[in-house]
Chains A and B, each alone.
Chain A
Amino acid sequence: MIRNNKQTISKIAKGLAVIILFLMIWEVAAIIINNNYILPRLGDIIWVLVHPLTSVLGGSSLVENAVVSLREVLTGFLCAVAVAVPIGLLIGNSKEVDSYLNPFIQMIRPVPPIAWMPFAIAWFGIGFKSIIFIIFMGAFFPILINTIDGVYGVRNQWTDVARMFRATSFEKIRTVVVPGALPVIWTGLRVAFAVAWMCVVAAEMLPGTSAGLGFMIMYAYNLGQLQVIGAGMVVIGIIGLGADGLFRAGQARFFHWQGRG
């Protein structure tokens, strides 16, 4: 136990050392360059971060912008879950459906979500709906692919047990396929959320948006306020890290049964 604690502390210390080194190099470089339009001082970035409710550059506050981005991400992400999981279950359970849809999916999958922006604007106009669409496109494929893989990973013997007890097809999917595939689907959700979070920031940077962390960064860039950009990036990082932590905690909580075997 003591040994474990020591190991954990040493691991944290090593991680912190690199972060502190990075910040020191940054600060020294900022002092040498001495130009706020190229490299802002850490103090200026921190000032923005510790005033999260203060209006930034005459617009929304840091927190307000973060809330806008989070709301967009959650909307797009949940839409992607609602569509990708059922389609994934369908494909995973039927070779016939798979042979129809697989080529189409493989063709669209490599297209970067942000490349859909012109179409998105043409179809949904500038703003919320377009951003949701981009996030949807980004989150959709990781969820879909993992759902299909998850279903493929369900052991035949488990479905045999369901059939032996005369489960209907729907019961088989509900009681065996979904729970058996869920750990892999969950990994897909985790990856998809990270992609969605990147998509929202990129989508908000495009012209026509008026709120969100991506917008705030772009707006600050136009005004040459690099300390705001730095603060925005830190918030993006923290939220991304927090979301990933939640997914990992969920994994440990819901899928402990994966155990050793």
Chain B
Amino acid sequence: MEPVLSVRNLGKTFVEGEQECNVFQGLSFDAFPGEILCIMGTSGCGKSTLLRMIAGLETIDTGSISIPGDPGTGPARAAMVFQDDALFPWLNIRDNISYGLMLSRDGVSEEMVSRRVSDLLDLVRLTSFSKYYPYQLSGGMKQRAAVARALAVQPGILLMDEPFSALDPFTRRELQDEILRIRDAASADCHPVAILLVTHNPEEAVYLADRIIVLSDRPAAICGLLEVRLPRPRKISDQEFLQFREDVTGLVIR
């Protein structure tokens, strides 16, 4: 299978005061259509920076990030869901979701946009809230709207930077299941989306991921790669699940 994302020998240096600080050194990995790839590591190891680089929000110093089929213009192939929803408070939910589509200049008709947004509202179960403004929604609903906004441009890669960290445990579980459902729906719709999810939570990683990448401290390199071969739906009380969780935790705090 062709990867939707190839990261090769990635390097990034920040200048902090007079000191140069290497965030990554020679980071290489691939992501494949339809997979959920969790990225873990201790705080400050550059996980967020990595996602921002893939989204085109940070420059690349050395190495490369290639997204096959991305012409570099038009709708983005990698769309990001931020830690807090980052919805535009002055737009209602429908207009927030259509934002990326309205920007892309490839002749999408109003009607197409409207139909696509309606489908997405349906997918994230916000149809009856389309005219609401972000301040009128709960945290979980806002985050679902943010996911729909990212999916609107039919990206090959969905980047999620600790998207559930601000939510309560019940909403968090609900949204995790939602992500799995959205991934399956996208695949069934012939637009498989690879999901790169940064998380601090080993349980979340094992619950969602097909593969888990563990990054070391700065300069970050891959210090562990786990394939989570557990049947779905996964149960967090299963012995195997617990074993995976232990393994991941061990890799992160090593």
A→B interface (CB under 8 Å)? 155, 157-158, 160-167, 171, 175-176, 179-180, 182, 255-261
Q: Is the CB of A179 within 8 A of B134?
A: no
| Segment with Cβ contacts to A, from B13-21, B73-81, B175-183 | B73-81
Bound: A242/B134 CA distance, A: 32
| B contacts with A, residue count (CB < 8 A) | 27
Bound: A237/B136 CA distance, A: 38
Bound: A149/B198 CA distance, A: 33
Q: Which of B75, B103, B133 has most chain A Cβ within 10 Å? A: B103
- Chain B residues contacting A165 (CB-CB under 8 Å) are 75-76, 79, 99-100, 103-104, 153
Shortest CB-to-CB span from B80 to chain A, Å, is 5
- Chain A residues contacting B91 (CB-CB under 8 Å) are 179, 257
Bound: A175/B99 CA distance, A: 9
Shortest CB-to-CB span from B64 to chain A, Å, is 19
Q: Is the CB of A261 within 8 A of B135?
A: yes
Q: Is the CB of A257 within 8 A of B135?
A: yes
Bound: A261/B133 CA distance, A: 11
Q: Is the CB of B134 within 8 A of A164?
A: no
B→A interface (CB under 8 Å)? 52, 55-57, 73-76, 79-80, 82, 84, 86, 88-91, 99-100, 103-104, 133-136, 149, 153
A–B Cβ pairs within 8 angstroms, 12 of them: A160-B80, A164-B80, A165-B76, A165-B153, A166-B76, A179-B90, A179-B91, A180-B88, A182-B90, A255-B90, A257-B89, A259-B133
Bound: A160/B86 CA distance, A: 9
Q: Is the CB of B88 within 8 A of A176?
A: yes
Complex: chain B residue closest to A255, CB-CB: B90
- Chain B residues contacting A259 (CB-CB under 8 Å) are 89, 133-136
**Cβ-neighbour of B82 out of A157, A167, A176, A260 (below 8 A):** A157
Q: Is the CB of A261 within 8 A of B134?
A: yes
Give the A-B contact count at a CB cut-off of 8 A: 70
Shortest CB-to-CB span from B93 to chain A, Å, is 11
Bound: A257/B136 CA distance, A: 9
Q: Is the CB of A180 within 8 A of B90?
A: yes
Q: Is the CB of A158 within 8 A of B88?
A: yes
Q: Is the CB of A155 within 8 A of B104?
A: no
Q: Is the CB of A163 within 8 A of B89?
A: no
- Chain B residues contacting A256 (CB-CB under 8 Å) are 133
Shortest CB-to-CB span from B65 to chain A, Å, is 14
Q: Is the CB of A157 within 8 A of B103?
A: no
**Cβ-neighbour of A260 out of B76, B80, B88, B135 (below 8 A):** B135
Bound: A261/B138 CA distance, A: 11
- Given A167-B103, A179-B90; A258-B80 close (CB under 8 Å): no
Shortest CB-to-CB span from B245 to chain A, Å, is 31
- Chain A residues contacting B100 (CB-CB under 8 Å) are 165
Complex: chain B residue closest to A162, CB-CB: B103
Bound: A227/B57 CA distance, A: 66
- Chain B residues contacting A162 (CB-CB under 8 Å) are 103
